[in-house]
């Protein structure tokens, strides 16, 4: 079980599309859930992308600021989640792959000052007490500023980059800044360019943990709600995401064990003292 944050940089790396691929592919044991939270202060993309605006803007992060002021945050959080579990029309949805939609307007981020920290605590509590995994989409700017507390409290932080010259150049500054903030980061590569994983590691000086294929047709299903091709769940993108999810979880577990070897971290992110 883990809390994993995905962050991006300039150069259109595809953080949200990667996060959705991981959500839909994440291996789940019976009784466990995976929650994807769109926490990009620049706004979310899934409501009007994958979901094609069918749900309007009734759900999402923006509703939590009011709930926080009223002391109703926990109940409100679960009401904002949208079920993205597979539905074959024959059996009831397992409701084990859930989405917290992001902001519909970047201006709404100004009202979320206290919400970011409450969310970080909420995610830690969900993971610790319920055994659910949490995936946080921080977009290009969410790992910094007030929302950066979500990266600080995550078990693993992964920067999504494309292995093109433009994206690798753009990623160097954010990777260094993020290392200073959270201690260490790793990379998830979108394999669009010519540079192998070893070269990406050399340039960015952080480990490449997993690679997803550059698959525009399949990606558009997740980013824009395009019609699913036949056997989409067995597409190279989702197959790679299944492998990648295991690798990301393993990396997060190793980092967590190193930072908190005795399991003293509380749901609030603090470290208690052994007695």
Please state, in angstroms and rounded to a whole number, the distance separating the CA atoms of residues 190 and 164.
Answer: 9
Pick the CATH number of 3-259 from 3.40.50.2300, 3.40.190.10, 3.90.1330.10, 3.40.50.300: 3.40.50.300
Calculate what percentage of the chain has a pLDDT beyond 70: 92
Contacts of 264 (CB under 8 A, 6+ apart): 271, 272, 273, 274
- Average pLDDT of every residue of the chain: 89
Please state, in angstroms and rounded to a whole number, the distance separating the CA atoms of residues 43 and 104.
Answer: 6
Q: Does residue 30 have a pLDDT over 90?
A: no
pLDDT in tens, 38-52: 999 999 999 999 999
pLDDT attached to residue 271: 38
For every residue of 257-275, DSSP letters joined together read HHH-TT--B-TTS-B----
pLDDT in tens, 138-157: 999 999 999 999 999 999 99
DSSP-derived letter for residue 111 is G
pLDDT attached to residue 87: 54
Residues 172-193, mean pLDDT to the nearest whole number: 95
Contacts of 104 (CB under 8 A, 6+ apart): 43, 44, 47, 48, 57, 60, 62
Residues 47-66, mean pLDDT to the nearest whole number: 89
pLDDT attached to residue 77: 94
pLDDT in tens, 187-241: 999 999 999 999 999 999 999 999 999 999 999 999 999 999 888 999 999 999 9
Residues 17-35, mean pLDDT to the nearest whole number: 92
* Between residues 228 and 264, the one the model is more confident about: 228
Residue 139, helix vs strand vs coil? coil
The pair of structure tokens assigned to 61 is: 């992060």
Q: Does residue 88 have a pLDDT over 50?
A: no
pLDDT attached to residue 156: 96
* Least confident range of 18-27, 34-43, 79-88, 238-247: 79-88
For every residue of 184-209, DSSP letters joined together read --EEEEEE-SS--HHHHHHHH-S-EE
Q: Does residue 272 have a pLDDT over 80?
A: no
Closest CA to 177 of 218, 139, 145, 216: 145
pLDDT attached to residue 265: 56
Return the bridge partners of 213, or none: 191
Residues 242-261, mean pLDDT to the nearest whole number: 89
User: For the purposes of burial, counting CB atoms within 10 Å of the CB of 239, is it exposed (0-12), middle (13-18) or buried (19 or more)?
Assistant: middle
Please state, in angstroms and rounded to a whole number, the distance separating the CA atoms of residues 212 and 189.
Answer: 6
pLDDT attached to residue 274: 29
Please state, in angstroms and rounded to a whole number, the distance separating the CA atoms of residues 240 and 21.
Answer: 9
71 φ/ψ sector (left φ>0, alpha ψ -120 to 50, else beta)? left
Closest CA to 95 of 2, 31, 1, 16: 31
Domain positions in the chain are 3-259
Q: Does residue 268 have a pLDDT over 70?
A: no
């Amino acid at each position: 079980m883990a809390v994993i944050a995905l962050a991006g940089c300039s150069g259109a790396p595809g953080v949200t599309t990667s996060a959705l691929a991981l959500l839909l592919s994440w291996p789940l044991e019976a009784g466990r859930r995976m929650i994807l939270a769109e926490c990009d202060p620049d706004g979310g993309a899934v409501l009007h992308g994958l979901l094609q605006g069918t749900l309007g803007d009734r759900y999402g992060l923006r509703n939590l600021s009011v709930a926080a002021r009223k002391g109703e945050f926990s109940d409100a959080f679960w009401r904002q989640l949208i079920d993205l579990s597979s539905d074959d029309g024959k059996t009831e949805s397992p409701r084990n792959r859930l989405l917290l939609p992001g902001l519909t307007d970047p201006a709404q981020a100004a009202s979320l000052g206290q919400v970011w920290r409450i969310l970080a605590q909420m995610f830690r509590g969900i993971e610790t007490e319920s055994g659910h995994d949490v995936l946080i989409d921080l977009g290009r700017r969410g790992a910094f500023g007030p929302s950066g507390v979500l990266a600080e409290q995550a078990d693993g932080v992964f920067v999504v980059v494309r292995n093109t010259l433009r994206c690798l150049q753009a990623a160097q500054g954010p990777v260094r800044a993020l290392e200073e903030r959270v201690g260490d980061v790793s990379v998830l590569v979108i394999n669009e360019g010519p540079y192998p994983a070893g070269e990406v590691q050399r340039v960015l000086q952080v480990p490449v943990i997993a690679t997803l294929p550059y698959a525009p047709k399949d990606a558009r299903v997740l980013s824009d709600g395009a019609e699913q091709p036949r056997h989409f769940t067995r597409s190279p993108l989702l197959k790679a995401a299944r492998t990648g999810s295991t690798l990301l979880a393993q990396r997060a577990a190793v980092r967590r064990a190193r930072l908190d070897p005795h399991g003293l971290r509380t749901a609030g992110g603090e470290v208690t003292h052994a007695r």
